[in-house]
Amino acid sequence: MEKYGTDYKIKKCVQEGELYVKEKGIYSDKRCVPELEIISKKYPNAIITLNSAFYYYGLTDTIPNFYYVATPKNTRKISDERVKHFYENSEAFDMGKTTMNYDGVDIVIYDKERLLVELIRNKRKFSFDLYKELIASYRKIVHELDMTLVAEYAYELPKSNMVMETLRLEVL
């Protein structure tokens, strides 16, 4: 709308082949657009988390079946069969929020430190093998992490004592 101004002009550009309809309300000037870019544009207030984020950071080679995203508790439910939606406590929602470029697509994602805390907090939601693979990946990069930030996140989010104990026993 910013670029074309009206629905009429957008529809005209689609008819002339200058724009392509990717999904309802999502247009592109490119014929082929990665699905990740469509999801990012369609849900601009969501943050990529858990399985998707672990994959994009290269902490696992397991390709997720869904796009795992988090939104604040007061937002509307995302009803998209491609998306696994999680609500996050509104005060903690932005903690660890960052952007990264993945295969030419700019995405909003939690940083590795926040994801480590989320991994431990949600331990039971992962298969045993995936959890162990992710913990092993974190052990390899522990020297790159800001452990002060990890501790800060752990104390701001639920299950802080369990998270800190698990960090001490399994990661450090």
C-alpha triplet 77, 70, 66: angle, nearest 5°:
85
| Better-predicted residue by pLDDT, 89 or 150 | 150
Residue 118 makes CB contacts below 8 A (sequence gap 6+) with: 49, 50, 110
Condensed to tens digits (0 to 9), the pLDDT of residues 15-26 reads: 888 877 777 877
Sequence spans of domains, the chain: 1-33, 34-171
Alpha-carbon dihedral sign for residues 121, 125, 128, 134: negative
* Strand order, beta sheet including 67-72: 83-88, 67-72, 47-48, 105-110, 97-102
- 101-132 exposure pattern, b = at least 16 Cβ within 10 A, e = fewer: ebeebebbbbbbbbbbbbbbbebeebeeeebe
Average pLDDT over residues 30-54: 92
Mean pLDDT of the chain: 91
> Taking the complete model, does pTM exceed 0.85, yes or no?
yes
Nearest residue to 100 (alpha-carbon basis) of 142, 55, 43: 55
Confidence of residue 1 (pLDDT cuts 50, 70, 90): low
Average pLDDT over residues 115-137: 95
Unique residue bearing structure tokens 């701001």: 156
